[in-house]
Homo-oligomer: A and B are copies of this chain.
Amino acid sequence: MGRWKPDARGRLERAALELYVDRGFEQTTVAEIAGRAGLTERTFFRYFADKREVLFGGASQLEEFLVGRVADAPDSLGPLDAAIEGLEAVGTLIEERGTFGRQRQVVIAANPELQERELIKLAALSAALAGTLRRRGAEDPVASLTAEVAIAVFKNAFERWAGGSERRDLPQLIRESLEELRVVTADG
């Protein structure tokens, strides 16, 4: 083992994403990721169980963060606004990670198996969000419907943002998708 290198996790993530974008997820090996990051395979496996976890390893912290934000949202907010406020905070986190979110989306969009994994993660996020809305006092079916719809708003905004032609940031796009939802539901 080499000596300790600062930000090993971040370097491995950036190296992996670059390789996934350039060569494709399937074609990239852990040895190549570690090599590009100037680290060993052994170090890779200290941070990630496998190649896929570079893309999905953050899901549980993200869920915890979202649940915390929604639980702490002012009582005056209805369930949808509380959910969206939490998702906007998630959007700010994603913005702070720079190109990671967009590159990740490019990689996932190119691979059906990764798309399926992403759907499953979003469904888990929706279930966690519904649970938090229930603890805030929303009843079912409103809690689960609101969570599903808030995740749909987030997904819609995220896809526009990741598409790259938008100059607005992700929290702005989430707010805008919510306004579009309001127009759509009012109009039919």
User: Which residues of A pack against B, CB within 8 Å?
Assistant: 77-81, 116, 119-120, 123, 141-142, 144-146, 148-149, 152-153, 155-156, 159-160, 177, 180-188
**Central interface residue in A81, A156, A160, A188, by most chain B CB within 10 Å:** A188
In the bound complex, how far is the Cα of B119 from the Cα of A155, in angstroms?
Answer: 15
Task: Tell whether, in the assembled complex, residue A185 and residue B182 are in contact, meaning their CB atoms are under 8 Å apart.
Answer: yes
4 tightest A-B CB contacts, nearest first = A78-B188, A81-B188, A148-B152, A78-B187
Contact of A153 among B78, B81, B145, B153 (CB under 8 A): B145
In the bound complex, how far is the Cα of B71 from the Cα of A126, in angstroms?
Answer: 30
- Please indicate the chain B residues that have their CB under 8 angstroms from the CB of A181 in the complex: 145, 149, 185
Supplied contacts A78-B187, A80-B185, A141-B159, 14 more A-B pairs, CB within 8 Å: A77-B188, A78-B184, A78-B188, A79-B184, A80-B184, A80-B187, A81-B188, A116-B116, A119-B120, A141-B160, A142-B183, A145-B177, A148-B156, A186-B186
- Please indicate the chain B residues that have their CB under 8 angstroms from the CB of A80 in the complex: 184-185, 187-188
Known: A149-B152, A152-B148, A187-B80. A180 touches B142 (CB 8 A): yes
